[in-house]
Amino acid sequence: MRISKSIPRLRIGTKLGICVGIGVALVAGLIIHEHNTSASIEALTATADRQQAVVMESINTEAMLQRVQVIGRDIRMARVPAQVEKLLGDLRQIAATGRTRLSNIEARSIDQANRERFQALQKLFPEYVASLGEIGKKQVEILSLFGKLDQVESKWVRNVNLVVNSVAFTNLPNFKELEAFINEAASLFKDARTAAWRYFLLNEAAQIRRISSSTDQAVNQLGYARVAAVDKTVVAGLDTLRAIVPEYTAALTAITDAIDAQNLIQADRANPADVGSRKLLGDAIETANATSDAATAQAASAVARAGRIRLAIGAVVGLILLGAALFASFAIGRPIRRIGEVLMELANGNKAVQIPYADRTDEVGDTARAAVAFKNNLERVERLEAEQKASEERAVVERKSTMHLLAEEFERAVAPMTPFTAVCNATGVPAMSVPLEWTNDGLPIGLHFVARYGAEETLYSLAGQLEQARPWRKRRPPPRK
């Protein structure tokens, strides 16, 4: 009440407006501070997120490099050209993705050193992919040379069979000796082929010497056989076999040369590009992580500082709002609540209750004066209701008296004509009148039947039987003259 009396002429809306205005001013100051702080934190967080994106993309690029390395290994392990072509197609797709990814990472990088690293990667990565592409081409060439080697070997086998299975060869007295020389040469052929495959798969330098030694020994064995042969046909067959040896040796040499070229590309181009790319990526990831951690730490510090400032301003705003709440409670809430209690008393019929605050000039006073008017109206309505009730009671008494008079008059008029119906009406038993007899003038005479209480069905059944026995539906009284 004291607070209210200090500002008696202000409306409630004005009072609340003052409280809200003070709160809004303080909250606006808090919002401005939060905006400035949030902008700083957002910038730091964006920097950290950007560097983390660089880290994630760099890790994905590292995984892509591992995939390229696996494709390079699979290319060298492929055994059919179609498999190599498929792997080269995968390599081209990865190369296209890698170029785009590296360009995007460079654009996101903040650190100048990292930007230079990714620029170098954009040069190294295509070189790595191109070197693997050339290795793939060499792989196809090597597989093709092995196919030619198989053809030469098939040619060798056919000619060996022609010589050994010929009649002239079997008629030679020393064919067993010749067959041993030829079989040894064939075994040396296989040994040279095995050495070529081992060199292809394992890169063992000793296999080169083994290939050369095996082919030379094969030529020597065929020479021994030719010296021992005495038949011209057999000698011609052996000369044919000796002519195949240089062709076989040339195919093996071409295979080893292609393998050497492939190894050179791997050592001089692919491996350095792979190692250099991995180092650049590792350094870039380390730098990006350091930058991201620094930005995150700064953002955390800014958040903590903003939290302390927010807490201080919030405490001040809280105190002001608490004061406004107390003002609203004592100056507005309590009077409104008291008027509400008075209205409830009036609603419950207590018209002697006193209505406070009617002298106030604000909305509370308006409400109190409305309650006074409500009380006066209730009293006036109560008086009107009492008068109306007395009038209604007089009207009821008059209606009852009139009804009794009418009933007595009706009873006197009707009683002679219905001596028995009154008994049935009074007792509530069922009764009916059935036209079974007729006067000489053709008028119906009703016979009155009465049954026990609740036996209406008995009367209905009797009426049906009487109507069947003495029907009256088609009988009509004569018209009046």
DSSP line for 262-322: HHHHIIIIIHHHHHHHHHHHHHHHHHHHHHHHHHHHHHHHHHHHHHHHHHHHHHHHHHHHH
Has residue 77 been placed in a domain?
A: yes
CATH of residue 96's domain is 1.20.58.920
pTM above threshold 0.75: no
Looking at the structure, do residues 285 and 152 belong to the same domain, yes or no? Answer: yes
Has residue 362 been placed in a domain?
A: no
Has residue 250 been placed in a domain?
A: yes
Please give the residue range of the domain that contains residue 453: 424-469
What does R_g of the chain's alpha carbons equal in angstroms? 61
Among the three residues 306, 325, 355, which one is the final residue of a domain in this structure? 306
Looking at the structure, do residues 302 and 433 belong to the same domain, yes or no? Answer: no
Q: How far apart are CA 209 and CA 198, in angstroms?
A: 12
Looking at the structure, do residues 299 and 432 belong to the same domain, yes or no? Answer: no
Could you count the other beta carbons within 10 Å of the beta carbon of residue 186?
Answer: 19
Could you count the other beta carbons within 10 Å of the beta carbon of residue 140?
Answer: 19
DSSP line for 379-440: HHHHHHHHHHHHHHHHHHHHHHHHHHHHHHHHHHHHTTT-TTHHHHHHHT--EEEEEEEE-T
Has residue 398 been placed in a domain?
A: no
Has residue 120 been placed in a domain?
A: yes
Looking at the structure, do residues 300 and 429 belong to the same domain, yes or no? Answer: no
Please report, in tens digits, the pLDDT of each residue of the chain (481 residues total): 454 455 556 666 676 677 667 767 767 766 886 677 677 777 767 777 777 777 888 888 888 888 988 998 999 888 899 999 999 999 999 888 888 888 888 888 888 888 888 888 888 888 989 999 999 999 899 899 889 988 988 988 899 888 888 888 888 889 899 889 889 988 988 898 898 888 878 878 888 888 888 888 988 998 888 888 888 998 898 889 888 888 888 888 888 889 889 999 999 999 998 998 888 888 888 887 887 787 788 778 777 777 777 777 777 777 777 776 776 676 677 777 777 777 777 677 776 777 777 777 777 777 777 777 776 777 677 777 777 777 777 766 776 666 556 545 655 655 555 566 767 877 888 998 888 888 888 888 888 889 998 889 998 999 889 889 888 888 887 777 6
Has residue 452 been placed in a domain?
A: yes
Looking at the structure, do residues 56 and 185 belong to the same domain, yes or no? Answer: yes
Looking at the structure, do residues 75 and 222 belong to the same domain, yes or no? Answer: yes
Among the three residues 257, 281, 306, which one is the final residue of a domain in this structure? 306
Looking at the structure, do residues 61 and 199 belong to the same domain, yes or no? Answer: yes
How many structural domains compose the chain? 2
Has residue 327 been placed in a domain?
A: no
Q: What are phi and psi of 250, to 5 degrees?
A: -65, -40
Looking at the structure, do residues 47 and 190 belong to the same domain, yes or no? Answer: yes
Has residue 330 been placed in a domain?
A: no
Among the three residues 306, 339, 369, which one is the final residue of a domain in this structure? 306
